[in-house]
Amino acid sequence: MLELDIYIVDAFTQQQFKGNSAAVVPLQQWLSGELMQSIAAENNLSETAFIRGLSANKYEIRWFSPLTEIDFCGHATLAASYVIFNHLGGQGEIEFLTSQVGALLVNQHSDGRIEMSFPNQCPQVVEQVPAALLAGLSVKPIQVLKNRQAYFAVMASEQDVKSLSYSSEQLKQLAPFDVVVTAKANEYDFISRYFWPANGGDEDPVTGSIHAGLAPYWAKQLVKSDLVAYQASQRGGILFCSLSHDRVLVSGFAVLYLKGTAYI
């Protein structure tokens, strides 16, 4: 019987039961993709991150939703970094090697905030807006853009983002793309909500990866390179974003909820 340590971490928050939960499973060797998918489905969290150490502070990372393997997940990377820094003896800069988005570099600030360096995935304006996108959102966007991950529906107001409803069946038709809705905010620079019924669930609590697109978009709109974002889900989460050359730095706090052992 194989014993696996599993850490459950709430990411992009300093409070338990807020932010976005991710499971983190450190491995000595990769398990089969089928087994990792089964573990992620059993965990039934938005993401389970599997990490495999290669050398001091260098890891491979893979992310699985309950439905499928994901090619880029920010909040589970934050959760994995939190585990390495606080439970696996990591110090200094961490490098995660990925198959789809290259190397991700992570550092921890003196106050405990964890900063991740992501590729800039600024979205581009869509000329032909899919009918399923318009049908799937109760509020009509003022602009629609797209990057490799999702459609970006820009709303006229913060209240539009908070109050809109959505149709999962319609948004599923946009697969493999997810949908983020966003607007300029008052207390924060911008807010967003993220829907991914085709790839993992209906509404994601806090989505680090999409801020690799949101941050450069809003940096242009607001003419500033340092931004504070809020993802306005039921759990909610705060993200600190900045632009550095061709990278987007996304940072936040995390808190441990549970450490346990799985018997496979």
**Of 3, 47, 60, 115, which one is the catalytic site residue?**
47
34 assigned to active site:
no
Residues forming a β-bridge with 61: 51
Which residues are known catalytic residues?
47
